[in-house]
Amino acid sequence: MQALGRCRHRAFSALAAMTSPAVPLVNGVSRHVVAALVANTATTVAEITNLFCARGYNVDSIVVGRTSVPDLIRLSVVVHGSDHNVSMMQQQLHDVVQVAAVKILTTPDRAHALVERDLLLAKVSLQAYPQALMTVNRLVAQFNATVVDTSTTQTMVQLTASPTDVDAFLHALGPLGVLEVHRSGVVAMDKEQAVTERTLNFAFDRHHPGDMDAVDSTMLPPG
């Protein structure tokens, strides 16, 4: 539980710092997005998170979402590590019985083969100067964001975009005074064909032995 607590602290600290570097870091450490289909149980996410943290990975965010298959949920995990270490982690995750399929979406030869989105809600002060609201509206239009609430002293904006665009939007809002920020963490999807026969067999052989003939392949979420 201590390792899990440390990992959660790092994840939330990273989100609060509003950093989502998309380029290699120092000493061969890079940012990686890992997608996984895992069993929908009460302990699965904690066990997988603990596995990452016990091996010293710096976890930026973990996003969990339901899928059209009730027994499976999808994880999108953003971690920092060397290409070799993250590849080893992929193999170790395959050995966890609750994990049906794992894929590293970010590799050097597939730099543009995925789509990433991060949802931002931010409260911005309107008291920095008289034209603050005009500035907010200009930035909202520039970044294709949305104003979701406004009062006499502050406004709340929403943006769904790539992590780098969200970072840029927050940076532009900074001089106005950003009062509160919440980011969902990164969800990502491969641009390639979502469902493969290998993924189908692997996922359902582990969670529905003998039921493959009764499963429509279109029910399996991207993996």
Sorted by where each starts, the structural domains of the chain and their CATH numbers stand as 30-106 (3.30.70.260), 115-187 (3.30.70.1150)
Helix (H, G, I), strand (E, B) or coil at 12: helix
Nearest to 11 by CA among 86, 64, 62, 75: 62
Alpha carbons 84 and 21: distance in angstroms, whole number: 19
pLDDT by residue for the chain (223 residues), tens digit each? 434 344 444 433 333 333 333 444 455 678 889 888 888 888 888 888 888 878 777 788 999 998 888 888 899 999 888 888 888 888 888 777 688 888 888 866 665 678 999 999 999 999 999 999 999 999 999 999 999 999 999 999 999 999 999 999 999 999 999 999 999 999 998 887 554 444 544 554 555 544 433 333 334 444 4
What are the strands, taking DSSP E only, across 54-177?
A: 58-66, 72-81, 99-104, 114-125, 146-150, 154-161
pTM summary value: 0.72
Torsion of CA 97, 100, 105, 107, to 10 degrees: 50
Alpha carbons 12 and 186: distance in angstroms, whole number: 13
